[in-house]
Amino acid sequence: MLQRATALGLGALVISALPAAERIFVSEADAAVQLSDATLQAFADTMLPGRKVLTTDLGNEIHPLAIAGVNNEPGAVQADALLLYHDALIGFDALEAPFLSELSARSLTHGGSFLSLGFEQRVEVCLEGLAPSNPTVLVWEAAAAVPFTAFLASAEQSEATIDTSSAYQVMGYPGTAANGYGEFSYKRKLSTELTKHGYLA
């Protein structure tokens, strides 16, 4: 059940989740930047899993443990989800520390850091965090919306095409099409029509 985390509602979610974020105790152990980025990538891979690769579409580094590799198609990490997490136009940075703090705390009850967990354990952690009964679910939904937006919209690429966006390759979506399409219609009548002009009286 999709909760409020629509891809479109992402930034507003980020803002509305701030009060919930304040309820999460922030541990200093999560301060390491590289580890936090790797953990965000691992979370993105749990939302939209992908094949194991070491660089994103835009050539950015992927932590070797981030992608679990349970799907043989490119996933959200390859679609530069991490770049979108840190995009000032989205504003997720304000939620990052409290989100990662709770993610880490929940991961420990499943056997270790989120990054060290197998895919099934990562899913268990996320099912807990994204449960409607979790008081901080809004923070998790905001965190979930980022990889979806990075993937579905190729949101970090200007005028993305199927040649530049691995997500579009998965979806079978050509992207930018400045010359459009010639063979866009079946070119025949396919149903009876109720009205004369296309609208009711």
Partner 1 sequence: MAERVDVCIVGSGFGGSIAAFRLAELYRAAGETPSILVLDHGPRHQHTDFRQSMDVENLSRIYGLVQGEGVQIVVGNGVGGGSNFYLAASLRSPSETFERRDHRPEDGPDRRMWPEEISRATLDPFYTRAERALRVQRPTWKQVAKSGGLWAATLDRAGHTCDRVPLAIDLDRCIQAKWCHTGCIYGAKNSVITNYLASAEEMGVEVRPNSEAELIVESQGQPYRYVVTAWELDNDGPEPTRQPTGQSFEVECKVLILAAGAMGNSPLLMRSRPALPSLSSQVGKHVGINGDHIAAIEYNEQKVRELLRLPGFGQTYKGNHITTMTYDFWAGKAGNERDGTRFTLQEIFLSTLPHILYDDGRAPSGEPSWWGLQKKQALSTFNNQIEILAMIEDTNDGEFLAAPPSGGAIRPNAGPLWVGLFNYSPSEQTVRAGEAADSAIAEVLARAGLGRFMKCTFRSANAAHPVGGCRMAESKDLGVVDHQNEVFDYPGLFCMDSSSIPTSLGVNPSLTISAVVERACQLLIERSADYGLPAKPAGFTAGVPGVHLGPHTEPIRRTSDKAIDEKVRHYEAAFP
- Of the two residues 100 and 137, which places its CB atom closer to partner 1 in the complex? 137
Q: Give the CA-trace dihedral at 166, 168, 172, 176, to 10 degrees.
A: -130
- Of the two residues 61 and 73, which places its CB atom closer to partner 1 in the complex? 73
- Of the two residues 27 and 55, which places its CB atom closer to partner 1 in the complex? 55
Spatial contact of 122 and 114, defined as CB atoms under 8 Å apart: yes
16 sits near partner 1 (criterion: CB under 8 A): yes
Which one among 3, 60, 134, 164 touches partner 1, defined by CB under 8 A? 3
Q: Which residues, 6+ apart, have CB-to-CB distance to 60 below 8 Å? A: 80, 82, 83
Cα–Cα distance measured from residue 103 to residue 25, given in angstroms and rounded to the nearest whole number: 11
**Subset of 131-150 contacting partner 1 (CB under 8 A):** 144-145, 148-149
Which one among 1, 28, 59, 133 touches partner 1, defined by CB under 8 A? 1
176 sits near partner 1 (criterion: CB under 8 A): yes
Cα–Cα distance measured from residue 4 to residue 31, given in angstroms and rounded to the nearest whole number: 28
153 sits near partner 1 (criterion: CB under 8 A): yes
**Subset of 58-117 contacting partner 1 (CB under 8 A):** 70-75, 84, 87-91
Instruction: Give min distance, CB of 50 to partner 1, in A.
Output: 8
Spatial contact of 176 and 192, defined as CB atoms under 8 Å apart: no
